[in-house]
Amino acid sequence: MSKDIKDEIKKYYGGLASEVTAGTGEAPCCCCKPQKSQILYDDEYLEDLPEEALKASIGCANPIFLANIQPGETVLDLGSGGGIDVLISAKYAGETGKVYGLDMTDEMLDLANENKQRSGRKNVEFIKGYIEDIPLDNDTVDVVTSNCVINLSEDKSAVLREAYRVIRPGGRVAIADVIELKKVEADLRKNAQLWVGCISGALSIEEYTQKLEDAGFKNVEITVVDSYTKEFLREFAQNKGLSFDLSDEEANELDNAFASAYVKAYK
């Protein structure tokens, strides 16, 4: 990832984390429908979690539902943000398991560590680093999770190669991400990015599958969770005070072009 883009992303997510820490804001759902953690996750996943962890949730679905974590497993969450998915996974991995959260943004790591303290979870460790260069040894993790992060990376192949490297044989990835369902013209894509965020780097199902297979993964399954209709995009733009000044033809081109999706594959 180029230094400029990385710095921009750090600045953006660092600012969000600082607002949640200061109690002056809630992280906006940057790459999903205007819904908060209570809608993305069933109650079962959220009980016992600190309010600040819920407020910092910026995902687009519930990868822990997909991960089916078992007691004793080791889990790694890529781009762990305020720590919501790490803290949920820690409940299922139990005292004999271990959950790592990896993030590059200092403010997010600080917030995640505060949330760890508030939650009382002991089997959790937040580490600083890049998802393109994971600071863990080969074959040490049972499941890699991630929620709305991989689409941000300029080098998704490196991220998936690194995930494959750290997963034990037979282990799995369980990812929630934004994908592209149909090609849209570059300017329109830029508009949609302004309204919803997190879609400029979205891959198609075929591209995602190919990159996973190139990294070595097998039994790839990609399932659409929720596709973004033109009505949703209009509402999202208006909520952000941005204009949705599109012809019918352009609105139809964007209709259901992007979606949140579950991605699962095995080593």
Ligand X SMILES: C[S@@+](CC[C@H](N)C(=O)[O-])C[C@H]1O[C@@H](n2cnc3c(N)ncnc32)[C@H](O)[C@@H]1O
- State the DSSP string of 113-144: HHHHHHHT--SEEEEE-BTTB--S-TT-EEEE
Burial of 235 (0-12, 13-18, 19+ CB in 10 A): middle
Residue 208 Cα to chain centre, angstroms: 15
| CB nearer ligand X, residue 149 or residue 215 | 149
Q: Which of 66, 87, 12 is nearest to 177 (CA)?
A: 66
Smallest separation, CB 140 to ligand X (Å): 18
For ligand X, which residue has the nearest CB?
81
| CB nearer ligand X, residue 58 or residue 254 | 58
Task: Please check whether residue 89 is in contact with residue 67, taking contact to mean a CB–CB distance below 8 angstroms.
Answer: yes
In the numeric block, which tokens belong to residue 216?
């070595």
Smallest separation, CB 129 to ligand X (Å): 7
Smallest separation, CB 144 to ligand X (Å): 12
| CB nearer ligand X, residue 32 or residue 254 | 32
Smallest separation, CB 9 to ligand X (Å): 5
Q: What is the CA radius of gyration of the chain?
A: 18
Smallest separation, CB 11 to ligand X (Å): 10
Which residues have CB under 8 Å from 165's CB, separation 6+? Answer: 134, 138
DSSP state of 260: E
| CB nearer ligand X, residue 58 or residue 257 | 58
Q: If DSSP codes are grouped into helix, strand and coil, which group holds residue 17?
A: helix
Smallest separation, CB 135 to ligand X (Å): 11
Neighbours of 255 (CB within 10 A): 17
| CB nearer ligand X, residue 57 or residue 191 | 57
**Where along the sequence are the contacts to ligand X (CB under 6 A)?**
1, 9, 13, 30, 57-59, 79-82, 84-85, 103-105, 108, 130-132, 147-149, 152-153
Task: Please check whether residue 116 is in contact with residue 108, taking contact to mean a CB–CB distance below 8 angstroms.
Answer: no
| CB nearer ligand X, residue 32 or residue 233 | 32
Smallest separation, CB 97 to ligand X (Å): 19
| Segments in 141-263 forming alpha helices (H) | 156-166, 186-196, 205-215, 230-239, 248-254
| CB nearer ligand X, residue 31 or residue 246 | 31
